[in-house]
Amino acid sequence: MSRLANQIAIVTGAGSGFGAAIARAYIREQAKVVLADIHADAVRKLADELGSNASAIACDVSQGDQIRAVVKHCIDGFGIPDIVVNNAGTTHRNQSMLDVEEHIFDRVFAVNVKSIYHMAHAVVPLMKSRKNGVILNVGSVGSIRPRPGLTWYNSSKGAVSVMSKSMAVELAADGIRVNIIAPVMAATGLLQDFMGVPDTPENRARFLATIPLGRMCDPTDVGAVAVFLASPEARFLTGIEIPVDGGRSV
């Protein structure tokens, strides 16, 4: 039997990058998956590709009413979620901390941090009622070994890390596990913002030189870790942060 057979999952930011890779991995492991993303066309296309065990819904994760609509969509279509992956995220451009405008700062924290607050209010009572559940929050290696230029983004992911560990302790008695996946940069839609310079072979090489294993994170690397952390094999793991970073944070 596949590792996630009969499990129901919600994955935010599922239209591309890490979220799409997690959704594909979960479907391969026979889970039923709700794909949520602000880009409606992208998740609908992916859901069509993945088949009847996938269902798409548009969602701006910074909005509590839209998060609640995602959870209702999941319950109506598949049932109460066993697994929630808070993957949706955004960043500001790599630049001086003083050059990031306030509305961009607010958006980064609303998407990266407040979204988890909204999702917790929507799903934790359901999981508590069954004394079971898995919450995976996607952080960043930037919160473990921050570097100049992404100060406010790194700080938002630092909040995700501490929030997740505190949630893990508080929710353990209810059988709910909470863990963090912390990737290094990948060739996703946010890559150029993370680098702060044009995405050229020369600039990529400069960033790759900081990763001991010599390559960027592939979204499938994150998908594999997300499967493991949601599986019975990880039943005694909670409050941990797994860097998926090729040694970048060492």
Q: Does residue 153 carry a catalytic annotation? A: yes
Residue 163 and residue 113 in contact, taking contact as beta carbons nearer than 8 Å: yes
User: CA dihedral in degrees (181, 186, 189, 193; nearest 10)?
Assistant: 100
DSSP-assigned letters across all residues of 114-144 = IHHHHHHHHHHHHHHHHT-EEEEEE--GGGT
Instruction: List, edge to edge, every strand of the sheet that includes 54-58.
Output: 54-58, 32-37, 8-12, 83-86, 133-138, 176-183, 241-244
Tokens coding 7: 């499990």
Tokens coding 131: 């004394």
Burial of 220 (0-12, 13-18, 19+ CB in 10 A): middle
Residue 78 and residue 128 in contact, taking contact as beta carbons nearer than 8 Å: no
Active-site residue, selected from the candidate residues 18, 26, 153, 194: 153
Cα–Cα distance between 227 and 247 in angstroms, integer?
Answer: 21
> Nearest to residue 135, comparing CAs of 179, 78, 185?
179
Exposure on the CB side of residue 66, measured as CA atoms within 13 A: 16
> Nearest to residue 48, comparing CAs of 73, 15, 72?
15
The catalytic residues are 153
